[in-house]
Amino acid sequence: MSEQLDQQKRTNTSNKLYGRYRAAVVNTVHPDALYMVTVRVLDLWEAIPDEDLPYAEFLLPLGAKPSHGHAVPVETDDLVWVEFPRNGDTRYPLITGSVYHAPRYESNLPDDVNNKPYQHKRSSGEPTPEAYDRKDDLYERWGLREQKSHTGGWQITHVASGTAIEITPDGQCVIHTEGDQWRSATGNLTEQFDGDVKLNVGGGQTITINKDSILKAKNIIETADMIRMNGGKGVVTGECICAFTGKPHSDMSACVTAGKN
The model's pLDDT over 139-153, given as tens digits with 9 standing for 90+, comes to: 999 999 999 999 999
| Residue 92 identity (one-letter amino acid) | Y
Residue intervals in the chain for CATH 2.40.50.260 = 3-98
pLDDT under 70: residue ranges of the chain = 1-14, 232-261
pTM, entire model: 0.80
> Rounded to an integer, what distance in angstroms lies between the CA atom of residue 260 and that of residue 240?
10
Q: What is the pLDDT of residues 133-186, one digit of tens each?
A: 999 999 999 999 999 999 999 999 999 999 999 999 999 999 999 999 999 999
Percentage of the chain exceeding pLDDT 90:
78
In this structure, the strands spanning 144-148 and 154-158 are antiparallel
> Rounded to an integer, what distance in angstroms lies between the CA atom of residue 39 and that of residue 54?
7
Angle at the Cα of 15 (from 93 to 50), degrees rounded to 5? Answer: 50
Q: What are phi and psi of 38, to 5 degrees?
A: -85, 150
Per the document, the length of the chain is 261
* Residue 1 pLDDT: 45
* Residue 246 pLDDT: 67
* Residue 228 pLDDT: 79
Q: Which fold has domain 3-98?
A: OB fold (Dihydrolipoamide Acetyltransferase, E2P) (2.40.50)
* Residue 257 pLDDT: 56
Q: Are 176 and 163 in contact (CB under 8 A)?
A: yes
Q: Taking the CB of residue 42, how many other CB atoms lie within 10 A of it?
A: 14
> Rounded to an integer, what distance in angstroms lies between the CA atom of residue 116 and that of residue 110?
9
* Residue 115 pLDDT: 96
* Residue 102 pLDDT: 96
* Residue 240 pLDDT: 65
| Residue 91 identity (one-letter amino acid) | R
